[in-house]
Each structure stands twice: as structure tokens, then as C-alpha cells.
A and B are shown apart, each in its own frame.
Chain A
Amino acid sequence: MRPNGIALRQNFLLHHARQLGTLSGLLVLGLVLWVLTPHFLTLSNLLNVAEQATIIAIVAVGMTFVILTAGIDLSVGSVLAFAGVVMASALHAGAPLPFALLAGLVTGTVCGLVNGLLITLGRLPPFIATLGMMSVARGTALMYTGGRPISGFSENFRWLATGEVLRVPIPVIVMIGIYAIAFFVLTRTKLGRYTYAIGGNEEATHLSGVNVRFYKTVVYGLAGLFSGLAAILLTARLNSAQPIAGMMYELDAIAATVIGGTSLLGGEGNVLGTLIGALIMAVLRNGLNLLGVSSFLQQVVIGSVIIVAVLIDMALKRRGKYS
């Protein structure tokens, strides 16, 4: 390069400025709650919050992949319910535990892959394809169970939700593991690279010889896989698989992703932000409960927080505070 201006090196901080912003939002929120109610900052409550966050956080990982490709997946909540009841009935039919778990994961993945194929081969807009799947998966779960929950499982299975390692609940460990893997996949692997590229400019990516259809289908398959995983943890926690589980989870997952700074236009964002976004939602719910705020008012507050978070993000972006 010829001498042209000062070549500042972009460092990690600058690169993750957006996520640091969200993180400070989370810290401020925590601080406020701590002042308002001392109970908030006890270890047991924080672990409780983390556990509350796990389900949405895991679903939101898949959602982040999908949104990074400039898509959307409205079916994650319904797929979760469907995968849950499939796994539960396998357990009740006496299937060995690993087999039942696998059945749940496979069910979720297959639903996701169907979404992907409808979008890539069927050329449906993601909104429509996954809207259809949302209804089909929910309806199938309801038909399959006759609308009744499937309850009562072995201690072994329930350990997945109740067990602890060094006082940290198993679901929290699973969540951390998933985020570590997802972060690695997005930053270090070909799949991750292509996920960003497809969301940034699908045509240019196709013309660069990337099999766009294949990778898009894989991404929707992943979203289904994570729904299946969330289904396992939720069923174990409730000791019951309900066909109406996961209602509105798609919206919470989208909210977590967007609060975390992933652009709905695709190509921009990462999972660290999503994790913080999911934690913000959980902390908010927990705090409002501790403060005894009515559940009606809670909805109003949470909706407002989502809007304000994105408004602040956009204002900062326009000022060019970070790229």
C-alpha cells in the first residue's frame, strides 16, 4: 500500500463494539434491578435467570444463522412442540433414552430441512414457507397427542434439566457449549463464511461458485436441530411434553437476535450478541417478577424494551459509532 493516511489497526473492541453496547445494556439493567431488589443479585437467582434463558437462547442460535442469511424462521416454536411430543412418546413406548433423544433431534432437523427445501428448491419466500411449517408442525403435534400433554418420565431423563455440575445446571452448560460451537462455526468454518456471504449478496455468492441452495438448506436444518434440542431441555424441565409448548418462541428468538445486533437484512451480526439479547429478555422477565409487576404490564415493558434497544442501535449506527 502506498502511504495514504493513518492506517489504524481495527482491533477486537472496535470489531465487537456493537456487542459491547448490548452488554453494557445488560449490565445497566442488572444494576437497576439490584438497586430495586437486593434479591436479584444472589447466586441462586442468577442461576435461575440463566436457566430461564436457556430455551430461548438455544432456539435463538438457529434463528441467528437463519437471519444472517437474510431469512426468517417462524416455525421454531411449533417444531419445538412437535419434536417434544415425538420424543416423549418414544420414551413412553419404552425406547432407550439415547434413541428417544435422537428421535427428538431428528424430528426437529427434518422439519428444518423441509423448510430449507421449500425455500431453495420450491423458491418460496422464507416467511411463507416457515409460516406454513409453523401451522403444520403445531397441528400435527396436537393431532398426535389429541391435545393432551405426555407427562411423567424417568429420573435419568429429568436429570437433563435438574442435574448440576459444580452447582451449574446442566441446561446452562449445554447452552454455553452450543454458543461456543456456534461462535466457532460462524467465525472459523466455511459454513459460517458462506452464511454471511449469502445474506450479504446471494447473487455474488452464487457467482463465486458457492452452492447457495445447499448451504441455505443446511442453515434451516440447523434451526430445526436447535428447536429439537430446546424441546429436550424443556420437556425434561417440565416433566411433560405439551403440544402447545413453545408458543411465541419464534418472536422471543427473533427479539433476542435483533437486540443482539443482527441485521434483519442479513450478513451482519453474531451469536455473542444473541446470547446477550436472550439474557436481557430473561433478566427483564425475572426482574419484573421479583418486583411484582403484573404479567399484563410485563408484556408492555418487554415490547418497549425491544423497540428502544433497536432505536438506540440504529441511532448509533447512523452516527457511525461502529460499522
Chain B
Amino acid sequence: METAPLLKMSQISKTFPGVLALDKVDFELRRGEVHVLLGENGAGKSTLMKILSGAYQKSSGEIELDGVPVSIKNPRHAQDLGISTIYQELNLIPHLSIAENIFLGREPSKFASVIDQRALVRAARELLKGLGLTVDPSARVKRLGIAEQQMVEVAKALSLETRILIMDEPTSALSQQEIKQLFATIRRLKEGGVSIIYISHRLEELFELGDRVTVLRDGRSVATCEVAETSKPELIRLMVNRELTEQFPKRQATIGEEILRLEGLTTSGLRDISFSLHKGEVLGIAGLMGAGRTELAQAIFGVEKIEAGQIYVKGKARRITSPRRAINCGIGFLTEDRKSQGLVLRLSVGENLCLPSVDKFTSWGMVDRNKEKLACRRYIQELRIRTPSLKQKVSFLSGGNQQKVVLGKWLCSEAEIFIFDEPTRGVDVGAKTEIYELMDRLTAEGVAIIMISSELPEVLGMSDRVLVMRSGEIAGEFSANEATQERVLQCALMA
């Protein structure tokens, strides 16, 4: 690496009203390297990348590309400079097709700007094939799951003449299989001379993929080092600046009486699901994407229509036909897609936290804002949500902190049965441990938890029992001792 770096960002600062998000950050990118950006939730990773991609304007600092100072005006300008981004929050247009999304704004046209649909679809199919994806390019994006949408974003970035590709937590919603594919793609891109900036909270990925790593903490860059010369504990220390305890807490809850039982539950996508859940228990649900895990959660929560079967809460048969009823039965559901299902982005942190439980703070239709504030403060502290105030719009929080708000929302509702669908998506190592500890504390208080997760280690580490789902059915059940990575995976793939 004798030549000047491809990209040099020096002394970058960025302030938002009430927040100093970046404080004189330095960052360098070499040609053809995968450079990992690491840091806690709210450390400023996404903000730094948004400045590079023209979505935000820096407050101060310099950016040099190929040794030439540039000022990046807007996302279009960044694209012209060869910088493309896959954002943490996906940005596709649901009603357009995959092909149309990929080439949005750059549609091949024949004459008089009539779009050449055939060429569009053909080009899209090429790109998708390169990614090992077999979906129909003329399918609408809203029909796709999060994982597939992510792949469309990757294809979109590839379709541009990209020199620098920024990926903000691209794997947080992907399955093992898809991650493997993505990594293969990244390696291929790298060989083709593309430089990649990669943000992830999964440290294993960094060692598998990264050449160098830069750690941000509280909006400052604290270190840049070669991946080969560093270690996991060292990186964690750099990131959080304190000692972390054992990742999975020793479970201390005693398992009590049955609190939830499903008998022969059948919906359009589920067949004959039966299991029971006990107080103080963590029931893990593993399975591949599309195995029906989220649908199961939705059925229990009154979102999916139940065609046959029965749900018993505390021994009583209950007809749960709406989320309202589910909440009245003491059930809370942390949805996997925080942007569309978990949060009202235009409302404040406080308002989001209290949404399912406004009733508790209401008398005669009036909300007691002092009581509400107290409750919110408590959860903000307990979960260490990083926000300048309760009134901050939740859309201005970092991804991981938004996830914590969704969590807090259900804690605040004081449910007795929690369904966690991907609870640690996008949260940093420290916060992950905090969430695990929280789950432990909840179960010790007698709460029962159903945990759906694509991260096998966390399912295995936290659950007292693991159910494995495959194509809408329960394919196997393992106790904590029996459950191993191989067994569960094998069961999820085929019996």
C-alpha cells in the first residue's frame, strides 16, 4: 500500500440539534480493502457514512478522494464519484418491481424515454444471478422478505459503477446461507478492485472478512488497526471502554406453572402447532427464513387469522382476534421489522415507549404526563437508550437505540408473556449482553419468553428449550442440553 489512500476523511464533525454525533473523526480507506467500522449503538458509524454518501452535510472537516479534496453535495453526486451505499434501513419502493428498483432513475430507454422493459428485466436478471439469487426480477418488492430486499439493494449498488461500497449492517437480517453468498460476493467485488466499508455488530464477520478495522466511540475515532494484529477482547475493550461479563448470563429462573398452551394451531401458513410455555422459561424458536416463525408469533398475537386449534392462557381458552386482546391477555410482541411495525417514526421516544400502555397513565381519557414521563425515564435508563430527551423524534436515534425503544415499549406494558422476534437485531455487543441479562431478570420475575432468532448461538445460549420449525410445522424439540448447533441446523434443513 505505497500509494496514497483512495479516501481520506479528516477531522470530520457533525452536530444535530442537541447532539454532537461526530467529533473530529479521522478515517482512511485503501484501494481494494474491506474496512470494518466498529462501535456501540449511537457511536456515529451510520452518520459518518451518511456524510460520505451525501445524505448528510458535515459540520466541519475535509474529505479527499484520490488525494483531491471533494465536497459531496448530495447522494447523486456521491454516486457519480463512485460511492454507493446500502443503508441500515432499507430504502426500496414497495410497489415497484425488483428490476425497476435496481435501475430507478437510470432506466434503459429506447426513444422518447419510453422504458425498455425487456432490457430492464434482462439486466436485472444478470445482476441477480451474479448474486446467486433466483427471484423473478419483475416481482414486486413488497412481496419479498427483508433478506431478499437486502439482496436487491446489493444488486442496485452493484449496477452502479462503484469504487467505494458502503454496507451498513447488511447481514443483520440475513440467514446463514445468504450471509455466505453475500460474503462470496464481497470477496469477488474486492478482487475487482472495489473498496468496501463494512459496518456490523457481529465480530466474527470482521475476522472472516475484514482487512482493517476502525473503532468509533462516542463520536470519536479511537483506533485503526490491521485485523490480523488484533483480537476480539481488545476490540470490545476499545469499543465499550469497560469490562464485559460473560456473554450469556447464568439462568437463575425457576420454571413454574404453565402460562401459555397451543393446541393444534393452524393458519394459512401454519399446520397443527402444539406446545406449552411455562413461567420463567425461555423458549427458543429456530428455523430458516420462511419456516413460519414470525407467522406463529403473529397468530398468537391476533394478527394472523386462526383457522383451527386453540390458545390457552393460564389454562383458560382464549379467542385472540386482535393485538388489543392479546395485550389484555398479557402478551407482548416485539416485531422484527422495527421501521414498519415497531415504531411510529414521527413520534417522540416517550410517545413510542408508552404507546401500548397509555391506558395505564390515563384517567377519564386524559394522559397523566408526569406519570408517563417517570415510566419512560425508567426504561430509558434501564435499557441505556441514547437520546438527548424524551421528546426526541425516534427517527433521529441510531438503529440500535431504536431497537431498544421497541423493547422498552413492551417492558412498559408489563406483559407476562413476551414474544421476541429477533430482539438483538442491530444492537451492539454490550447492549446484546444487556438484553440477555434483561431476559434473565424478566424470567426470574416469572415472565415467560418466546424468542425467535436467526442467530443460533443466541438461541442456544439463552433458551431452556428449543423448538425447530420447518415449512409451517414444528420439526423438532430439544432441551437445553440436547440442543447443539449441528442438531438444530440439521433438523431445520430436513429431518
Contacts and interface: CB of A to CB of B under 8 A. Distances in A.
Contacts of B381: 1
A189 B366 CA distance: 4
Nearest to A9: B389
Nearest to B331: A209
A204 B365 contact: no
Interface in B319-345: 322-324, 326-328, 333, 335, 340-345
A7 B386 CA distance: 11
B20 interface: yes
Contacts of A268: 346
B359 A190 contact: yes
A14 B17 contact: yes
A291 B303 CA distance: 60
Interface string B368-387: 01000000000011001111
B17 A210 contact: no
A95 B21 CA distance: 67
B218 A3 contact: yes
Interface in A171-203: 188-191, 193-194, 196-197, 199-201, 203
Interface string A1-31: 1111111111000110000000000000000
B351 A197 contact: yes
B233 to A, nearest CB: 21
Interface in A254-273: 267-268
A268 B120 CA distance: 38
Contacts of B20: 4-6
Contact of A267 (B344, B355, B409): B344
Contacts of B323: 206-209
Interface residues of B, number: 52
Contacts of A190: 358-359, 362, 365-367
B42 A7 contact: no
A188 B369 CA distance: 8
B292 interface: no
Interface residues of A, number: 35
A317 B180 CA distance: 42
Contacts of B369: 188
* Most chain B CB atoms below 10 A, which of A6, A15, A205, A207: A207
B219 A200 contact: no
B320 to A, nearest CB: 11
B95 to A, nearest CB: 15
B347 interface: yes
B190 interface: no
B384 A2 contact: yes
A209 B365 contact: no
A67 to B, nearest CB: 13
B388 interface: yes
B8 interface: no
A203 B340 contact: yes
Contacts of B219: 4-5
A2 B242 CA distance: 13
Contacts of B340: 201, 203-204
A209 B356 contact: yes
Nearest to B40: A2
A207 B303 contact: yes
Contact of B366 (A188, A204, A208): A188
Interface string A34-45: 000000000000
A196 B347 CA distance: 8
A323 interface: yes
A211 interface: yes
A10 B391 contact: yes
A5 B366 contact: no
Interface string B290-331: 000000000001010000000000000000001110111000
Contacts of A204: 340-344, 355
Contacts of A196: 344, 346-347, 351
B433 to A, nearest CB: 16
A8 B218 contact: no
Nearest to A3: B218
B247 interface: no
Contacts of A193: 351, 355, 358, 367
A203 B342 CA distance: 8
Contacts of A4: 19-20, 42, 218-219, 386
7 contacts: A1-B381, A1-B385, A188-B367, A190-B366, A190-B367, A200-B344, A203-B340
Interface of B: 15, 17-21, 23, 42, 218-219, 301, 303, 322-324, 326-328, 333, 335, 340-347, 351, 355-356, 358-359, 362, 365-367, 369, 380-381, 384-389, 391-393, 396, 409, 413
Given A10-B18, A190-B362, A323-B396, 20 more contacts: A4-B19, A5-B219, A6-B18, A7-B389, A9-B389, A10-B17, A188-B366, A188-B369, A191-B365, A193-B367, A196-B346, A200-B346, A201-B340, A203-B340, A207-B335, A207-B342, A208-B409, A209-B327, A209-B328, A210-B356
